[in-house]
Amino acid sequence: MELIKQNSPVLFFFNPSKKWLVKISKKEALHTHIGILKHADAIGKEYGSKIITNKDKYVYLLKPTMYDYIMKIQHGTQIVYPKDLGYIVARAGIQNNQKIVEIGTGSASLTSFVASIVKPRGHVYTFDVDENFMKIAAKNLKKCGMEKYVTQQNLDIKTVKKVPLTDADVALIDLGDPWTVVPQVRQMLKGSGAVFAICPTMNQLEKLTMALVENEFTDIESTEHILRTIDAREGKTRHSFQGIGHTTYLCFARKAFFDRKSKNKSESEGKKEPTEKPKKITKKPVKKPAKKTLTKTKIKSSSSK
Amino acid sequence: MELIKQNSPVLFFFNPSKKWLVKISKKEALHTHIGILKHADAIGKEYGSKIITNKDKYVYLLKPTMYDYIMKIQHGTQIVYPKDLGYIVARAGIQNNQKIVEIGTGSASLTSFVASIVKPRGHVYTFDVDENFMKIAAKNLKKCGMEKYVTQQNLDIKTVKKVPLTDADVALIDLGDPWTVVPQVRQMLKGSGAVFAICPTMNQLEKLTMALVENEFTDIESTEHILRTIDAREGKTRHSFQGIGHTTYLCFARKAFFDRKSKNKSESEGKKEPTEKPKKITKKPVKKPAKKTLTKTKIKSSSSK
Amino acid sequence: MELIKQNSPVLFFFNPSKKWLVKISKKEALHTHIGILKHADAIGKEYGSKIITNKDKYVYLLKPTMYDYIMKIQHGTQIVYPKDLGYIVARAGIQNNQKIVEIGTGSASLTSFVASIVKPRGHVYTFDVDENFMKIAAKNLKKCGMEKYVTQQNLDIKTVKKVPLTDADVALIDLGDPWTVVPQVRQMLKGSGAVFAICPTMNQLEKLTMALVENEFTDIESTEHILRTIDAREGKTRHSFQGIGHTTYLCFARKAFFDRKSKNKSESEGKKEPTEKPKKITKKPVKKPAKKTLTKTKIKSSSSK
Amino acid sequence: MELIKQNSPVLFFFNPSKKWLVKISKKEALHTHIGILKHADAIGKEYGSKIITNKDKYVYLLKPTMYDYIMKIQHGTQIVYPKDLGYIVARAGIQNNQKIVEIGTGSASLTSFVASIVKPRGHVYTFDVDENFMKIAAKNLKKCGMEKYVTQQNLDIKTVKKVPLTDADVALIDLGDPWTVVPQVRQMLKGSGAVFAICPTMNQLEKLTMALVENEFTDIESTEHILRTIDAREGKTRHSFQGIGHTTYLCFARKAFFDRKSKNKSESEGKKEPTEKPKKITKKPVKKPAKKTLTKTKIKSSSSK
């Protein structure tokens, strides 16, 4: 049995919309609409127990999960919601021990969740260019205990000469213009490695998809995830009246080797694949044409509207 | 770089609806509508590379993820889909190192996915009463390499005298009548531990919710997850015409201690919580009244229609 | 061209969430956050024109449609929303010239909309038992000019001895317990006539469906209608962040003649349908057993599957 | 009571996916999987009655509604579905007696439904340029008895010098490039009149919205309508497993007078609206600049935000 002590993290839970995430500190108290919550009252109790406020309201002492941290995260930007976090992990097959790269740390909601899955041996390398967000992210990572499993760096992946790492299992992109980093992401990924991008607009999905095809990704899938809550009550079960709005779209793909150059070559040779040296042939087209590619994508896409 | 060799798992990927999951075996070949796929052609190639069929079609050699295993799982029952698997992990905060109990193994899609998250130090204990499903499940667990992290047992949790384990972080229920095992699930969980039930009907959500309240669970949430795919194409982006149907509803809750008995007691004592021995007071009401409770739930619920 | 004059109805439209429905009255003015809207400014202008407030904001003078009336209706109860109103008309094939019966007038949103479709020769007969709602409904019907096409009556259809009308094309039910009036609704409908019920909970759909089967309705269909709004903006098109919540479920069916009695008879006669007198045979079982039926539904509802 | 006779339209209804729409013809019979349906068996029966096939299956004789005609329509193109038809009528406030213009007749599903609402005194004027579709449409209109209320014309509205009609209450556009006819549609509409466009892609919504703003429409709203069916069965109520896919998006707007020209003028006059002659001022800018406008939309669409 796990008892709450000084410095234990606790979610004071009154109801789904009234809950407070704290670190227990003997002398502190939380003043709320439902009364005063004295930290000291929680000490020595088992997680799941309740305390009573001075207004006679029961508050449960829950052990915070990554979900609770994310829903209470301090965010300067839009966070990635659990419904989307979950699908990212399930679709990309993220597991402990993996090496993850993330472009665009934001408030670190995605970073934290993914770190909680790949730890203790896996690691998340996350890049951002905004010092303010980086500070918020660092604070958030620390709060949920994930800072050891994450390396934050101020680096603009779009313009980087040499990518800071390779052989990543999964790459995550959370930028306004995700298509601009596809060539770099490709270089950082293992063969067959997955990429996931957070795309709030349909236009981003469209441009990104074009860039992914151009940069030899396959199994490309764009999705939208709708979570509806249900009020299950005796004799009165129905969906909740409370609305659900848009959060974001997601775009997934896996790195492949299209061997375009070799294909052209091989055309004159009767379509035989030069299987003896797949590496050189496949690696080269990635680095350079990829950059041209992007330019092309831009030109095309602007004329397409 | 990871090269494919004899016995490597490979997903032959032609397109999202034409893909084959195999273990490479030098002398085998797969006869498909798009031509013959010779396993030998894959050997020595990097994951992500392609091979060409005798009908001149390109097939990519992807490294199977847990998603691929689950979507190709042999199932005697309805599987749990990735959109739901992901939310279960995200909402319950499942991480490596946890102890998970599952009632109703089914085809082991949920079992496998959760095992992939809690491994290598965590463990899934799964119970079923159908020998046939248990065999299918064992086969599926082996295929995706999760058998070491899972203990399967033929045990009817509903009628068990003594629960086979305690202190689980998360309990998963995939039964037609999930409400019948709520008291046992409660005994197996840690304080504040989470339960998730797979409920294909609204009626199950309703009965289960009543049983959860009766058995002192809090933060109860019923949800439905809709995944829509989007065809992102230049100048023609829209949702896919291909439909999305119902899979299941999900019900989540966390174990709390309502201290009902103590509350009655304490009423005469001026509402002071007997905080000195929370264990005995809270544990006892669980075992026995819980069983009565269920009977009540049944009676009530039948009359409620 | 239609010019606005004294007493013309006008929708002052600033944006989708700031709009006011008025009847022009020379000396009136509307004081709003965006400034003062003088009715007099609208007089003599064409519908679609704009006026300017004293805060220099443009407000368009739209001609109110039934949609505008319904969205601005005074309601003591939940209104039926346009997405549902539209489907009711489209699924039931409501057209002008039809005879419609409605049980449960509520705020008359459904009444008004249906009247606007069946007018000028069709008619809506609507029944309620709550005098207060009936007054609100009468006011709302008058406001949108539909009072001539609607007959309101204070009558409890559940307990009525003789139904007040027959040969209705379509029956609409908006009650908490819609299943209780199915036998009466059946008597009021033409053969093949449609019934639509507004059901806010899944439990209502379930009970109503059982009563519809028991009372010889066919083509039974339960649906839910989700309207999502899209922010279509250059380069930034996406679903709206603003949520969409639950409003109601709908249940549709058409009156058939199952000839259960005749079937029993005919069983001894080698299953020949006594086609020579379909009327008597079919009508009789409706009136009386229908009442028993409901009781039966409750008791042996398990046999109805 | 309405009895079925020679030439009566009948929907032979076995279940929601097995139903046949026929005109009764004494000597005909329909050969189906569930047996032979003899038309003669239906003659003399009341709508709602049943007949029995030679395979002992019951088939109900329903009276076809506009819904049945539309779902059974012969279509060379994608039809507009009832969920969307209904919303169009409800949102635009379509009623009998109105004058409707439609650009792009297609298979006439929308045409037929709208005609069924505006008849007998209202009228639909529909334009198309494809002779083949026009023939299919004519046949479909005749089948559901709407041909008297519809005027079909082979005319390319995009390039027309003079619009064929004015003062329409509502305009419907079902073209691949709906934005190209917005200036013409504007000329055909009354002030405050509504336009609805059927847009299968997000890109169309985006371009159309820009053209609508440019052409002085207000209350612009893009929506998507999702219909989910529910299997309501005793103790097993849930959404249907059968999927629901994308059909189309809808774009609505109302004609306003922005008075851009007058605004420029009035700027030098201290923002007084020249309210004394709103007609001339507002009408003129419509016709000519509207054409230029479109060109502008294409070139400098970025400035339209």
Instruction: Give chain D positions within 8 Å (CB) of C249.
Output: 230
D interface residues, B as partner, C-beta within 8 Å: 200-203, 224, 234-247, 249
CB contact under 8 A, A45 and B89: no
Strand partners, D16: none
CB contact under 8 A, B60 and A223: no
Least Cα distance to D282 among D179, D221, D192 occurs for D192
Least Cα distance to D254 among C19, C47, C22 occurs for C47
pLDDT bracket for residue A76 (50, 70, 90): confident
Identify the pLDDT of residue B76: 73
pLDDT bracket for residue D77 (50, 70, 90): confident
Q: Tell me the nearest-neighbour CA distance from B39 into chain C, angstroms.
A: 44
* pLDDT (tens digit per residue) in B73-104: 877 778 899 999 999 999 999 999 999 999 99
Size of interface A-D (CB pairs under 8 A): 7
CB contact under 8 A, B202 and C202: yes
For chain C, the chains sharing at least 3 beta-carbon pairs closer than 8 angstroms are: A, B, D
What burial letters (b/e) apply to A97-107, b meaning 16+ CB within 10 Å? ebbbbbbbbbb
Q: In angstroms, what CA-CA distances link B225 with A226, A229, B121?
A: 6, 9, 30
Rounded Cα distance, D305 and D297, in Å:
11
CB atoms near residue D74 (< 10 Å): 12
* pLDDT (tens digit per residue) in D191-202: 999 999 999 999
* pLDDT (tens digit per residue) in A185-200: 999 999 999 999 999 9
Identify the pLDDT of residue B155: 97
For all residues of chain C together, what is the average pLDDT?
Answer: 86
Instruction: Give chain D positions within 8 Å (CB) of A305.
Output: 203, 206-207, 301
Contacts of B68 (CB under 8 A, 6+ apart): A93, B11, B19, B21, B62
Selecting from D203, D224, D246 the residue whose C-beta is nearest the C-beta of B240 gives D246
In terms of pLDDT, which residue wins out, C37 or B247? Answer: C37
Tokens 């939309």 sit at which residue? Answer: D297
- pLDDT of residue A300 exceeding 70, the answer is no
* pLDDT (tens digit per residue) in D241-250: 876 678 899 9
Identify the pLDDT of residue C121: 94
- pLDDT of residue D49 exceeding 90, the answer is yes
Average pLDDT over residues D207-233: 96
* Mutate which: D222, D248, D286, vs C, most C CBs within 10 A: D222
Rounded Cα distance, A69 and A110, in Å:
11
Identify the pLDDT of residue D159: 95
pTM: 0.85
- pLDDT of residue A282 exceeding 90, the answer is no
Dihedral angle computed from the Cα positions of residues B231, B232, B234 and B237, in that order, rounded to the nearest 10 degrees: 70
Instruction: Give chain A positions within 8 Å (CB) of C247.
Output: 241
Nearest residue of chain B to residue C203 (CA atoms)? B305
Average pLDDT over residues D25-39: 96
Q: Tell me the nearest-neighbour CA distance from B196 into chain D, angstroms.
A: 18
* Mutate which: A202, A204, A222, A226, vs D, most D CBs within 10 A: A202
Identity at C291, one-letter amino acid code: K
CB contact under 8 A, C236 and A201: yes
Rounded Cα distance, B122 and D287, in Å:
73
* pLDDT (tens digit per residue) in A11-34: 999 999 899 999 999 999 999 999
Instruction: Give chain B positions within 8 Å (CB) of A83.
Output: 86-87, 90, 225
Rounded Cα distance, A189 and A283, in Å:
12
- pLDDT of residue D9 exceeding 60, the answer is yes
Contacts of B268 (CB under 8 A, 6+ apart): none
Selecting from B1, B224, B230 the residue whose C-beta is nearest the C-beta of A205 gives B230
* pLDDT (tens digit per residue) in A48-73: 999 999 999 999 999 999 999 999 98
Instruction: Give chain A positions within 8 Å (CB) of D211.
Output: none
CB contact under 8 A, D91 and C88: no
Identify the pLDDT of residue B261: 60
Identify the pLDDT of residue A262: 52
- First-to-last C-alpha distance (Å) of chain B: 62
Instruction: Give chain B positions within 8 Å (CB) of D246.
Output: 238-241
Instruction: Give chain A positions within 8 Å (CB) of B297.
Output: none
Selecting from A201, A237, A238 the residue whose C-beta is nearest the C-beta of C238 gives A201
Average pLDDT over residues C278-299: 31
Total residue length of chain C: 305
Instruction: Give chain A positions within 8 Å (CB) of D203.
Output: 206, 305
CB contact under 8 A, C271 and D41: no
- pLDDT of residue D39 exceeding 60, the answer is yes
* Mutate which: B186, B216, B222, B224, vs A, most A CBs within 10 A: B222
Q: Tell me the nearest-neighbour CA distance from D275 into chain B, angstroms.
A: 43
B interface residues, C as partner, C-beta within 8 Å: 202-203, 206, 305
pLDDT bracket for residue C75 (50, 70, 90): confident
pLDDT bracket for residue D282 (50, 70, 90): very low
Least Cα distance to A153 among A125, A175, A182 occurs for A125
Identify the pLDDT of residue C186: 98
Nearest residue of chain A to residue D210 (CA atoms)? A305
Nearest residue of chain A to residue C239 (CA atoms)? A246
* pLDDT (tens digit per residue) in B205-241: 999 999 999 999 999 999 999 999 999 999 999 999 8
Q: Tell me the nearest-neighbour CA distance from A303 into chain D, angstroms.
A: 10
Average pLDDT over residues C58-73: 95
Contacts of A277 (CB under 8 A, 6+ apart): none
B interface residues, D as partner, C-beta within 8 Å: 200-203, 224, 235-247, 249, 305
CB contact under 8 A, B245 and D242: yes
Average pLDDT over residues D26-40: 96
SS3 string, chain A, reads: CCECCCCCEEEEEEECCEEEEEECCCCCEEEECCEEEEHHHHCCCECCCEEECCCCCEEEEECCCHHHHHHCCCCCCCCCCHHHHHHHHHHHCCCCCCEEEEECCCCCHHHHHHHHHHCCCCEEEEEECCHHHHHHHHHHHHHCCCHHHEEEEECCHHHCCCCCCCCEEEEEECCCCHHHHHHHHHHHEEEEEEEEEEECCHHHHHHHHHHHHHCCEEEEEEEEEEEEEEECCCCCCEECCCCECCCCEEEEEEECCCCHHHHHHHHHCCCCCCCCCHHHHHHHHHHHHHHHHHHHHHHHHHHCC
Q: Would you give the distance in Å from CA A174 to the centre of its chain?
A: 8
Q: Tell me the nearest-neighbour CA distance from A220 into chain D, angstroms.
A: 19
Identify the pLDDT of residue D268: 37
Selecting from B2, B45, B88 the residue whose C-beta is nearest the C-beta of A190 gives B2
Instruction: Give chain C positions within 8 Å (CB) of D209.
Output: 232-233
pLDDT bracket for residue A261 (50, 70, 90): low
Identify the pLDDT of residue A197: 98
- pLDDT of residue C248 exceeding 90, the answer is yes
* Mutate which: A65, A208, A216, A301, vs B, most B CBs within 10 A: A65
Tokens 């309740």 sit at which residue? Answer: A50
* Mutate which: B246, B249, B301, B304, vs D, most D CBs within 10 A: B246
Identify the pLDDT of residue C2: 87
* pLDDT (tens digit per residue) in C18-35: 999 999 999 999 999 999
Rounded Cα distance, B181 and D81, in Å:
45
Q: Tell me the nearest-neighbour CA distance from B229 into chain D, angstroms.
A: 9
Identify the pLDDT of residue B262: 52
Identify the pLDDT of residue C234: 95
Identify the pLDDT of residue D305: 28
* pLDDT (tens digit per residue) in C125-137: 999 999 999 999 9
Strand partners, A52: A58
D interface residues, A as partner, C-beta within 8 Å: 202-203, 206-207, 301
Selecting from A203, A236, A239 the residue whose C-beta is nearest the C-beta of C237 gives A203
Q: Tell me the nearest-neighbour CA distance from C163 into chain B, angstroms.
A: 27
Nearest residue of chain D to residue B207 (CA atoms)? D235
Rounded Cα distance, A239 and C247, in Å:
9
Average pLDDT over residues C245-272: 70
Q: One digit per residue, pLDDT tens: chain B, 305 residues?
A: 789 999 999 999 999 989 999 999 999 999 999 999 999 999 999 999 999 999 999 999 999 999 999 999 877 778 899 999 999 999 999 999 999 999 999 999 999 999 999 999 999 999 999 999 999 999 999 999 999 999 999 999 999 999 999 999 999 999 999 999 999 999 999 999 999 999 999 999 999 999 999 999 999 999 999 999 999 999 999 999 876 678 899 999 999 999 866 544 433 333 333 333 333 323 333 333 333 333 333 333 333 32
Q: Tell me the nearest-neighbour CA distance from B264 into chain D, angstroms.
A: 36
Of chain A, the percentage scoring pLDDT greater than 70 comes to 84
Instruction: Give chain A positions within 8 Å (CB) of D206.
Output: 203, 305
Token pair belonging to C109: 């949103």
Selecting from D236, D242, D244 the residue whose C-beta is nearest the C-beta of B201 gives D236
pLDDT bracket for residue C1 (50, 70, 90): confident
Q: Tell me the nearest-neighbour CA distance from C232 into chain A, angstroms.
A: 10
Identify the pLDDT of residue C289: 33
Identify the pLDDT of residue D78: 83
| Contact indicator for C261, C285 with CB cutoff of 8 Å | yes
Q: Tell me the nearest-neighbour CA distance from C204 into chain A, angstroms.
A: 8
